A and B are shown apart, each in its own frame.
Chain A
C-alpha cells in the first residue's frame, strides 16, 4: 500500500522546520501502509501539545481530546469496538505529566492499543518549560536554576507494572523506528513506544547529535521476556538503550476480559436491544 493514502491534503502543519515530529509522522505512515492498515479502520487519538496535533496530518479517524486524557479515550474506543486499530499519540508532557495517572492505570488495564510518546524532554507548545522527562539541571524560563526534580522514567514504570510491550526509539533513525513501531502496532495488548526526538526550537541541550551520541541499540542477546534484565536496561542513563525492552507473555487484554465479548465478538454498536430482557429485569422488581 502506498503511504500517500495517509496524506491529508492541504494540511496546515504547525510544526517548526526540522522538528523530530516530521520523521515520526513519516515513519508512522510507512509502517501503517506496510501493514496494509486502512484509514477507515484506524483511529488516531491524542491529547494536547505539538505531538497531539499529529493525527490531523494523517488520514484516519481522529479523536484529538484534552491534555493528558487521551489514554482513557483510546481504552474506551477499543472496548466498544475491538475491530478498530487504536493508536494513541501524544508528547511527554501530555502522557507522563498531565496524564500520569492514566498512564499508570492504563498499563494495568492493558487495552490492545499502541501508545506512541514523543519524548523531546521539553514543552514545545507552551514554549520551552521543563517536561517530566527533562534532565536535572536543565534550565528554562520557569526552572531558572535548572530542573531539580528526578526525571520521569516511563520505561522503568511500565516494566514495574508488567506492561505488555515496552520499547524506546529515536526519531532520527527511521528504519529502526519503523521496525519497532510495526511490532508495537502488531502486538496484542498495550504497547508503549517512547520515541526520543529533538526539539530544534526549545531544547538546545538534547539535540539530534546529543541523542545520537547518548543512545545505543539493545542487541540480540537482550531477552525481552526477562523482566529484571529489562528493568536494569530501563534505568541505564549513561547511555540510553533503544529497542524493545520488555514483553509480557501474559497478555490478556482489557477487551478480552469484558463480559460483553464472552460469546459475541461484534462491536457494541451492532448489538440489538433486548426488550425482553429489560421486561424480565423489571418484572424481577416485583
Chain B
C-alpha cells in the first residue's frame, strides 16, 4: 500500500461490461469536472455488442488543455471482474485500482495497487445494485475536488427525465460515493494536484460528432437521409433530433443507395443535403458520387471511418477510407475532401463543406473516424457568425443549367424558382441538360467540369504548421491524429521538430511540396496499413516521406506511442 500523488494531469479509466451504465457514469463525471473548471477529455473503446464484453472509457483531467488519448492509467475504476485483465497491458505499479472487493478477491495485492470499496453492498443497501455506478462516480469526483453542489446538479440534469424519485435516489447514491471519496482523500492515499481554471466552466463540452453536426447546421443543412452504421449513427441521431428546430428533413432510408440519391434530389430542389455513413455503407453510395459529379448537383458526405474491409471491426477506429473517398465514382470530376482533427476545425470545415458544395456543385467529403467521433473535451465557444453563402439563381425562360463558363461553374437554378426549367441528366448532356452523344460537346463538358477543380485548388485550406518554421524534422498527420501528435510534440520540447497538420486532403495545397522539401527528416502517422495519405502526397508532389508509422489494429495512436516513435526517429 502506497501513497499516490497523481500530479496535475490525471488519467482515469472506467471499465465494465456493456449494459452496466458506464456511459452514464462517464457523462456525469466529465460534466461535473468541466463545470468545476477542469480541463477534461474522454475517449471510449467498446466492443460490438449491447450486453457483456469489456468496455472502457478514459477520462483525463488536467491543469492544461488536453485533447488526446494517453496510454497511461493513473486511476482505474474497475466495475467488473474482467476489467483488470482487459486493461492488463496498460496497468503499471503506479496505477491505482479502485473497485469492489467482491470482484477482486483473487487479485494479487503485491502486483496491483488496489483499493477495495464495497460499492455493490452500499448500492444494495440503498435499494438496488444499479446505484453502484453513481456511488463510484461520487467517489471519483470527490477525489478530484468537485464541489458537491456541482455534482448534484449534474446528476439532476442527467436523470431528470426519469422523475424526481429516481433523481433523489441517484443523488443520495452520489453523496454516499462522495463520502467514500472523502475517506480516501483523508486517509492520504490519494492526492490530486490538478488546477482549475474558472474560464473552463463556461466553455462547451461536446464530442467530435456534435462539433461536425453543429457545423452542418451552421452550413445550412436542410435535408439528410442516411442508413444507420457505426460510427456515423450518432451524427444521424443528432441531426434528426434538431431537424424540426432548423427546418430540416431527416429520413432513415431503406439503404445507403437510396440515402444518397435522396440527398441529390434534396439538393437539386433547393435544400442543402447530406448523408452520413461508414466505409461499407459508402461503398454502396459510390455510384451516386459519380451522379453528383455528372449532374453537378452537390452533396456533402460524412464518412465515419472504421477498420475494414467489409464489416471489419465495427466499433474501432481507422483512417482507411481516404482512397475510397478519393477514387469513388466512375469517370472524372472534381471533389473536395476534409479531415478535421480538432473540434474547431470540425465545426468550421463542416460549415465550409456546404458552402463549397453549393458553390462548386460537386461532392464534398468530411472524413471522420470512430475515435474522433466519440471523443469529448471542453472547447471555447465557436464563432457562429452566419456564413451561409447563397448560390442559387432565379431562372429566366432561356435558362440553361450547364452554361459553359470560364471557371466551369454554371449558375445553378432549382425547379419552381423563376421561369426557366432545370434539366439535369446522368448521361452526357448539352448546355440545356438534355442527353447528347455529340463528342465535341462531350469534350467541352468534361473540360468545364474539370475547370472547377482549378478554382477549388485556389481555395484549398492550407495545412497548419505547429511549431517552429525552421524545423529539421517534420511530422505529418491528418484528421484525428492531430491531438496526440500535438501533445507529443509539446511534451518533447524539441524546437527542431514541427508538425504539419492536414485538414484538407484533396485537392492538396500547393505549399505541400515546399514544406516537405524544407525538412531534413520526415515522418508520418496514419491509422491504416498502407500509408494512403503519404501515397497521395507522393503522387501529387513526388515526395517520398521517409518514415511511415502505420497503426491498423483499430485503436488510435496514444501520445506516448507518438513520443516513442519520434524519439527513436530523431535519435533522441
Contact = CB atoms under 8 A, between A and B. Distances in A.
Interface string A150-193: 00000000000000000000000000000000000000000000
Interface string B256-286: 0111011111101111010000000000000
A71 to B, nearest CB: 8
A123 B472 CA distance: 65
Interface stretch (B5-13, B413-421, B491-499, B556-564): B413-421
Nearest to B213: A281
Contacts of A77: 265-266, 268-269, 415
A93 to B, nearest CB: 16
Contacts of A252: none
B415 A43 contact: yes
Given A76-B273, A271-B222, A81 B416 contact: yes
Contact of B271 (A8, A62, A268, A275): A268
B76 interface: no
A61 B415 contact: yes
A105 B265 contact: no
Given A41-B416, A286-B203, A72 B423 contact: no
A75 B253 CA distance: 11
A76 B204 contact: no
A69 B388 CA distance: 30
A268 B415 contact: no
Contacts of A76: 223, 225, 249, 251, 261-266, 269, 273
B447 interface: no
B261 A66 contact: yes
A268 B416 CA distance: 12
B248 interface: yes
Contacts of A259: 243-244
B258 A61 contact: no
Contacts of A273: 220, 386, 388
Contacts of B269: 43, 76-77, 80-81, 84, 267, 269
A285 B414 CA distance: 36
B253 A72 contact: yes
Interface string B221-256: 011010000000000000000111111110101110
A147 B268 CA distance: 39
Given A79-B249, A268-B247, A72 B261 contact: yes
Contact of B265 (A63, A269, A286): A63
Interface stretch (A52-60, A138-146, A213-221, A222-230): A52-60
A258 B416 CA distance: 21
Contact of B244 (A71, A262, A282): A262
A83 B417 CA distance: 11
Contacts of B223: 76, 79-80, 268
A56 B425 CA distance: 9
Contacts of B261: 65-66, 69-70, 72-73, 76
A120 to B, nearest CB: 21
A232 interface: no
Given A80-B271, A81-B415, A286-B205, A66 B220 contact: no
B386 to A, nearest CB: 5
A26 interface: no
A4 to B, nearest CB: 16
B291 interface: yes
Interface residues on B, range: 35 or more
Given A40-B419, A271-B247, A274-B246, A65 B254 contact: no
Interface centre among A53, A60, A69, A262 (most CB of B within 10 A): A69
A8 B432 CA distance: 11
B287 interface: yes
Nearest to A279: B384
Contacts of B435: 53, 56, 64
Contacts of B427: 64
Interface centre among A70, A71, A83 (most CB of B within 10 A): A71
Interface residues of A, number: 57
Contacts of A39: 421
Interface in B402-432: 414-427
A75 to B, nearest CB: 6
A53 B434 CA distance: 10
Contacts of B266: 76-77, 79-80
A281 B421 contact: no
Interface centre among A72, A79, A105, A267 (most CB of B within 10 A): A72
A171 B269 CA distance: 31
B202 interface: yes
B288 interface: yes
B206 interface: yes
Nearest to B273: A76
Contacts of B424: 62-64
A53 B420 CA distance: 20
B514 interface: no
Nearest to A42: B415
Contact of B426 (A66, A71, A109): A66
A48 interface: yes
Contacts of A65: 261, 264, 291, 295, 426
A41 B518 CA distance: 59
A285 B426 contact: no
Given A72-B253, A281-B214, A285-B205, A269 B270 contact: yes
A80 B202 contact: no
A74 interface: yes
Interface centre among A60, A66, A258, A275 (most CB of B within 10 A): A66
Interface centre among A55, A74, A102, A264 (most CB of B within 10 A): A102
A249 interface: no
A15 to B, nearest CB: 13
Contact of B262 (A11, A73, A83, A268): A73
Contact of A282 (B291, B295, B381, B415): B381
Nearest to A264: B247
Given A66-B426, A79-B249, A275-B384, A269 B214 contact: no
Contacts of A79: 223, 249, 251, 266
A53 B425 CA distance: 10
B416 A73 contact: no
Contacts of A83: 416
Contact of A56 (B265, B295, B434): B434
A201 interface: no
Interface string B343-365: 00000000000000000000000
A71 B389 CA distance: 30
B524 interface: no
Interface centre among B246, B295, B424, B426 (most CB of A within 10 A): B426
A86 B263 CA distance: 16
Interface string A99-117: 0011011000100000000
25 contacts: A40-B418, A41-B416, A55-B423, A60-B421, A61-B423, A62-B433, A63-B295, A69-B291, A74-B265, A76-B263, A79-B266, A80-B223, A80-B270, A84-B416, A101-B254, A102-B257, A260-B243, A268-B271, A269-B269, A269-B417, A274-B245, A274-B247, A281-B214, A285-B206, A286-B202
Given A56-B425, A64-B435, 8 more contacts: A39-B421, A48-B426, A61-B415, A75-B262, A77-B268, A81-B270, A81-B416, A275-B386
User: Which 6 A-B residue pairings sit nearest by Cβ, starting from the closest?
Assistant: A269-B270, A76-B265, A61-B415, A73-B265, A259-B244, A105-B254
Interface of A: 8, 11, 39-41, 43, 45, 48, 53, 55-56, 59-66, 69-77, 79-81, 83-84, 101-102, 104-105, 109, 258-260, 262, 264, 267-269, 271, 273-275, 277-279, 281-282, 285-286
